[in-house]
Structure 1
Amino acid sequence: MTGRQTRPRLTPARLSPREVVRVGATGLRNRPTRALLSALGIAIGIAAMVAVVGISSSSREQLERQLAALGTNLLTVVPGQTFDGQEAKLPAEAEAMIARIGPVTAVSATGAIRDAKVYRSDRIPKVETGGLTVSAARASLPGTVGATLRNGVWLNGGTGRYPAAVLGADAAGRLGIGRAGPETMILVGGERFTVIGVLDQVKLAPELDTAVLIGWPAATDLFRFDGRATTVYTRSQDSQVEAVRAVLAATANPQAAGDVSVSRPSDALAASRAANATLNGLLLGLGAVALLVGGVGVANTMVISVLERRSEIGLRRSLGATRGQIRTQFLAESLLLSALGGIGGVLLGIAVTTGYAAYQSWPTVVPAWATTGALAATVLIGGVAGLYPAIRAARLSPTEALVMV
């Protein structure tokens, strides 16, 4: 049996992912100084972006905390007037219904006790009331309105059932009480109460400064208190303050929403949102510039690498390396170079943010999207920047590459 014998066709060996990484890393190791400087350039750009985002985010977090202390998300609900000019009343279940509103994060209330007068002792003339008010208060009130104690303790489930009172800052001054204690007594509606706490000035609810606050159960037991709130304080998510305000009246009193008055959101909330929008635009612009600078650095490094390594490219092509393998090699070098610079830049940016925030006594905030986005964008930019040099290297023929050396 005769016939022409065909020579078996050789198929170039494929590079495994591990080999691709090893070949790409070899190119970087052979020129460590240039690789280090190129990675450093990328790292500085990425560090600048991460640091700007981190410092701005830390500053914004500090600003939001300060604005929160000003009550940007605090709304108050009080009864208005009926059609005939009489003072309206909130339903007994108003608090519970308001608490069911999804974006509402905290609810508390006070209930005015109209006929109770406050005196330092029974020797004070009846007409000298000092202009003080008496209100029943929920245990959650300080946390909702941001009240702090100058000294003593706040009402709780135990003390709220007994004749115990917490004084507002001005109320304590008018009564001549500087410190709470078991021996400090006052008269509230003819009943002796022990002063267990004194509040600091409450900036978000100044009406509490002249108030004598007692427990809800004690007010019900000792006075003719019907248990209805006269002021409901609510905290809600910043982004939903207007939406919550729109439904508060109807929620508090579904039968007569017109008889309910709701405070408007603080102007500081609008200022906070405007500042956030401006900062977001600034961060995006700076991030884009940093990534562009990093991409140009990678492209420049890889083009120079191709020009300097023609002999290596020619030798590899002569030994059987395919254009695809050459292209993969230089693209892998570009990606590794970008990844090293990106990781170093992220770590450096976090360190700068942490140090500056600690110096300013700010909370340290580095958004996850900034770090992951910086790494992803760096690798993407590195791949795009290294694509042209990789294609150019792959197009060099073995003879051309060796002759040009």
Structure 2
Amino acid sequence: MAALHQARLTPARMGPADILRVGGVGLRTRPLRAFLSALGIAIGIAAMIAVVGISSSSRAELDRALDALGTNLLTVEPGNTLFGTDAQLPEESIAMIGRIGPVTDVSATGQVFDAKVYRSDRIPAAETGGIATRAARLDLLATVGAELATGTWLNEATARYPAVVLGATAAQRLGITTADPQVQVWLGGRPFTVVGTLAAAPLAPELDTSALIGWTAATQYLGFDGHPTTVYTRVQESQVDAVRSVLGATANPEAPNEVEVSRPSDALAAAQATDDAFTGLLLGLGAVALLVGGVGVANTMVISVLERRAEIGLRRSLGATRGQVRTQFLAESLLLSALGGTGGVVLGILVTSGYAVSQGWPTVVPAWATLGGVGATLVIGGLAGLYPAVRAARLAPTEALAAV
């Protein structure tokens, strides 16, 4: 008899399935309120996932482009003299750089400063469109990793005649969509035939706003002095730093301090660092949205406790312990947060995929972002539901039933 009496006093233990079932009661009975609270969580998680995913996809595209173009490109340009005037690279600098052992390719352009570019001779002189005229070596495209959009590149024949290849931005500003023997531009006071247009050149962005003509044609028609203004150098990957340290003295032995050497991929890396900082800012905004969602969950659970005092009193009268009541409301809060977190992850992945596809990028959503998103919602849900759960557990059966 004593053992039977003791068994009756011992409350039944709730298994995982029981906890899920009682935790879902409040969500099923108040679906609209549960949906709105979960939506607040979902928006915060979706914002975080989308920010991380879009940034990761952008970086993956940048890495893919750098892998295709190579990060072993160095550029040599004239700097300033001791008196602050513009320096010049010697005409022999291209050949001298080419004799450096680890250098695999070298090419150059030379800006023709007095040659303006217009769509026709009817355009006012002041409307230059910011397009620069540059003499170009025939091996330029292979060295900088640029590609043609339309038409052909300069060759031994066209490099001696008034033929021009337009950079991507230059072609756009001049309203030229395709190269054709019938298409001409007014360059340096005479017509030049457009034989090609370039795609954007990430490692040589100055080419995008340039009109490129042959070295010989620039000398013959425009009075080009033959001094290069940018020398592009491809180097063995393992020797980039070593070659970089001697390029200045090699390009201009008499005045190496008047030479500037740069690595275009460093600029892209800096842009990526800027993008990372911007990503951090957006993640902060996403965290604020997530916090707002957590407040919504807490508010929902507090109101649920107030509205369900009679239910709590009845359960306590039927033998439910404080721990079981606390577990019920905590489980309800966690379920609500888990639904919002899962929905937010799915929504964030869809937004990332849609944007990446529209930009032609690979879709990349780090696993840590999805797992962290769901984990963050559970933590916020647990914290948001802790106080309401404790408050519900502290209600005495008589107090709860008296409020009916």
Q: TM-score range by the shorter chain?
A: 0.5 to 0.7
Residue equivalent to 1:20: 19
For residues 275 and 76 of structure 1, the distance between their equivalents in structure 2, rounded to whole angstroms, comes to: 22
Residue equivalent to 1:394: 393
Task: Report matched runs for 1:196-275 at 5 Å.
Answer: 204=203, 231-233=233-235, 245-248=240-243, 263-266=261-264, 268-269=267-268, 271-275=270-274
Query: What SS class does the counterpart of residue 313 from structure 2 fall into?
Result: helix
Task: Report matched runs for 1:186-197 at 5 Å.
Answer: none
Correspondent of 1:173 among 140, 150, 158: 158
**Residue 5 of structure 1, CA deviation:** 6.5
Task: State the AA in 1 paired with 2:158.
Answer: G
Query: What SS class does the counterpart of residue 402 from structure 1 fall into?
Result: helix
Calculate the aligned-residue CA RMSD, in Å.
4.8
Deviations 1:26-51 (A, max 9, x none): 22112222222222232233333434
**Residue 368 of structure 1, CA deviation:** 3.6
For residues 389 and 358 of structure 1, the distance between their equivalents in structure 2, rounded to whole angstroms, comes to: 44
Residue equivalent to 1:34: 33
Deviations 1:231-282 (A, max 9, x none): 533569xxxxxxx854556899xxx9xx999942237336404522431331
**Residue 392 of structure 1, CA deviation:** 0.6
Deviations 1:115-172 (A, max 9, x none): xxxxxxxxxxxxxxxx99798x9xxx94x732436799xxxxxxxxxxxxxx962645
For residues 151 and 395 of structure 1, the distance between their equivalents in structure 2, rounded to whole angstroms, comes to: 77
Query: What SS class does the counterpart of residue 320 from structure 2 fall into?
Result: coil
For residues 72 and 96 of structure 2, the distance between their equivalents in structure 1, rounded to whole angstroms, comes to: 24
For residues 358 and 318 of structure 2, the distance between their equivalents in structure 1, rounded to whole angstroms, comes to: 59
Task: State the AA in 2 paired with 1:307.
Answer: L
Residue equivalent to 2:345: 346
For residues 14 and 400 of structure 2, the distance between their equivalents in structure 1, rounded to whole angstroms, comes to: 22
Residue equivalent to 1:187: none
**Residue 373 of structure 1, CA deviation:** 2.2
Task: Report matched runs for 1:60-75 at 5 Å.
Answer: 64=62, 68=66, 73-75=71-73
Q: Does the CA contact (< 8 Å) of 2:138 and 2:155 recur in 1?
A: no
Structure 1 stretches lacking a partner, 5+ long: 96-108, 113-130, 153-166, 179-197, 212-229, 237-243
Percent identical among aligned pairs is 56
Query: What SS class does the counterpart of residue 73 from structure 2 fall into?
Result: strand
Task: Report matched runs for 1:104-115 at 5 Å.
Answer: 109-110=104-105
**Residue 319 of structure 1, CA deviation:** 1.3
Query: What SS class does the counterpart of residue 320 from structure 1 fall into?
Result: coil
For residues 68 and 375 of structure 2, the distance between their equivalents in structure 1, rounded to whole angstroms, comes to: 39
Task: State the AA in 1 paired with 2:262.
Answer: R
In structure 2, the CA distance between the partners of 1:318 and 1:132, relative to structure 1 (3 Å rule), is closer
Query: What SS class does the counterpart of residue 8 from structure 1 fall into?
Result: helix
Residue equivalent to 1:225: none
Task: State the AA in 1 paired with 2:333.
Answer: S
In structure 2, the CA distance between the partners of 1:268 and 1:110, relative to structure 1 (3 Å rule), is closer
Task: State the AA in 2 paired with 1:25.
Answer: G
Q: Does the CA contact (< 8 Å) of 1:248 and 1:262 recur in 2?
A: no
**Residue 288 of structure 1, CA deviation:** 1.6
Query: What SS class does the counterpart of residue 317 from structure 1 fall into?
Result: helix
Residue equivalent to 1:383: 382
Task: State the AA in 2 paired with 1:33.
Answer: L
For residues 283 and 302 of structure 1, the distance between their equivalents in structure 2, rounded to whole angstroms, comes to: 29
Number of equivalent positions:
296
Query: What SS class does the counterpart of residue 169 from structure 1 fall into?
Result: coil
Task: State the AA in 2 paired with 1:75.
Answer: L
Residue equivalent to 2:100: 90
Q: Does the CA contact (< 8 Å) of 1:168 and 1:209 recur in 2?
A: no
Range moving further from structure 2, 341-350 or 302-311: 341-350
**Residue 381 of structure 1, CA deviation:** 0.4
Task: Report matched runs for 1:278-289 at 5 Å.
Answer: 278-289=277-288
Structure 2 stretches lacking a partner, 5+ long: 77-88, 108-134, 164-194, 216-231
